[in-house]
Structure 1
Amino acid sequence: MKIPTNIILFSGIGTAFGAGVLLKDYYGGERYKEKHDILAKTVIITGANTGIGKETAKELATRGGRLILACRNLEKCEKTKDEIIQESFNKSIVCKKLDLASCESIRNFAKTVVEEERHIDILINNAGVMACPKEFTEDGFEWQLGVNYLGPFLLTNLLLDKLKQSPSARIINLVSPLYKRSKINFEDLNSVQNYHPKEAYGVSKLALMLFSQELARRLEVELIVYEMFTGFACRWPDHRDSEQCWDSVLNITVNCAIPGISKTEIGRHLPMAQAKFSGGLLSPVMWLAMKTPLQAAQTSVYLAVDPSLEKVTGKLFFNSRETSIASPALDKEVAKRMWLISEKWTKLSS
């Protein structure tokens, strides 16, 4: 008996779709299922009202953390806060205004946090923009460089003292694999002469990678010097490996997370998102190829709560596994120069 062609066709489509779903689950990464809680820990998540940031906040709220949702749009933030409270039964969630395109807003946010909080345990620099049209922030920074890099640079530095008040603090910066194909052009760092949306995005994420590496090195040196003067006993062989000594030497870690390609608002400026007809035709393919925001949030959750990472710093993670760092992000001289320029541009050193 001959099977009708349409049945074969639909059967093939169904099989392909089912295989796609399985592949999506596999390549999207497993959900972080460990039951580690973060009770009594204060967490700041930038851009927490939507996408990956929102899912990260939900996951950490269920683990008992006190969350500060740092968002540009307070109305959306409040709605997200109510949603998270209803789902997690965790009422220790607050919204605070933060616009990473404004140094004034960043300083106001940091000032409030410093005055109100005893310590910060986890800082997740999640917020970002991607491939947007050429535009400059109120401080004169190219938009992507300002929001994706200079904003987190200033915010993190302003909160460092509060992070140092934590027994074990973690800084998590979200980056993109596009950093690998990017290069810092000090002659036109602010993209005044030439601007390409995708290239500028890659540069902003490379800058964040370089910052993470340099900050990790600076913190290690600072704390080793501290240990030399105040924790000299820890240098004796019988005490060097004790947990107490390690806590005094290394209490802030800095790591980067690649969330992967996911369907969030960050891609709204991409040509595919703006082409309604072709975008509609390709939406099933895009759905299979992209992670969900929940899947993309898992590496951030892992870096925030897993106890095995308490002494791990200066690393890069994808799908909750450490991955190698490409050479553009390992150039110490470029990292130091970027730091000095960033201090000057954000008036951190003034």
Structure 2
Amino acid sequence: MPSILDWTDDGFSMCFGVNHLGHFLLTNLLLPRLKECAPSRVVTLTCSTYKYQKLDFQDLNYNLLPFFTYCRSKLANIYFSQELARIADGKGVTSYAVHPGFVQSSWTCHYSFLFRMLMQVIMWMFFVPCEIGAQTVIYCAVSDEAAKRSGGYFVDCRPAVLRPFAKDAGVAKKLWEASERLVKLA
């Protein structure tokens, strides 16, 4: 059973590989087709926990503390969305970063029985059902209002304010270039 502390076959932390690099590579491989089929939208899931970490370009694979690794990967998703919006501007492809809320899902399935039971109680008490979590994703995929805000960060079906460090276009571009090298697109 894989865990957040595992590594991909390519040597990336599972969390960074799955949460950022996989999306980055797939989107880049689909980008020519997305442009052909314009208007197209790319909706990337992130999380409000992005605010607890900043990227370290000396170690994008940070894997010591699972929670902070997760936070960095979700910050990477925000930068990815912003840079994709910049690159695709005027080409019929728009991009959005969405925090769907804390959603009741099966993300704990690879953990111990006791952890799963504890998290089931916490999720039941504090998290939203999948149907509610999906609303902002759907909004960004189809809304005329969202279409006007490519590169935006959305929570509860509306634009949300990012921390200043998460709006750094220079960091977004640097991450894009680093990601291209890591997945061998550059």
TM-score by length of 1: 0.49
Q: Distance in 1 between matches of 2:113 and 2:160?
A: 29
Q: What do the CA deviations read for 1:140-166 (whole angstroms, capped 9, x no partner)?
A: 111000000001001101111101112
Q: Among 241, 261, 280, which residue is 2:102 paired with?
A: 261
Q: Distance in 2 between matches of 1:206 and 1:251?
A: 25
Give 1:306 deviation, angstroms: 1.7
Q: Map 1:1-350 onto structure 2 (within 5 A).
A: 132-191=3-62, 195-220=64-89, 223=90, 251-268=92-109, 274=115, 276=117, 279=118, 283=121, 286-349=123-186
2:136 partner letter: T
Q: Distance in 2 between matches of 1:199 and 1:273?
A: 22
Q: Which has the higher contact order (CA 8 A, sep 6+)?
A: 2
Secondary structure of the equivalent of 2:44?
Answer: strand
Q: Distance in 2 between matches of 1:304 and 1:137?
A: 30
Secondary structure of the equivalent of 1:266?
Answer: coil
Q: Distance in 2 between matches of 1:258 and 1:149?
A: 15
Give 1:310 deviation, angstroms: 2.9
Moved over 6 A (4+): 270-273
Question: Which structure would you say has the larger Rg?
Answer: 1
Q: Distance in 1 between matches of 2:48 and 2:147?
A: 25
Q: Distance in 2 between matches of 1:335 and 1:270?
A: 33
2:115 partner letter: Q
Give 1:177 deviation, angstroms: 0.5
Farther-moved stretch of structure 1 (309-318 vs 293-302): 309-318
Give 1:273 deviation, angstroms: 6.2
Give 1:329 deviation, angstroms: 1.7
Q: Distance in 2 between matches of 1:320 and 1:156?
A: 23
Q: Distance in 2 between matches of 1:167 and 1:341?
A: 27
Give 1:174 deviation, angstroms: 0.5
Secondary structure of the equivalent of 2:58?
Answer: helix
In the alignment of these two chains, the number of paired residues is 185
1:212 partner letter: S
TM-score by length of 2: 0.90
**Percent of matched pairs sharing the same residue:** 37
Residues 338 and 156 (structure 1), Cα distance of their counterparts in 2 relative to 1, 3 Å cut: same
Q: Distance in 2 between matches of 1:294 and 1:174?
A: 15
| Preserved CA contact (<8 Å) 1:145 1:200 | yes
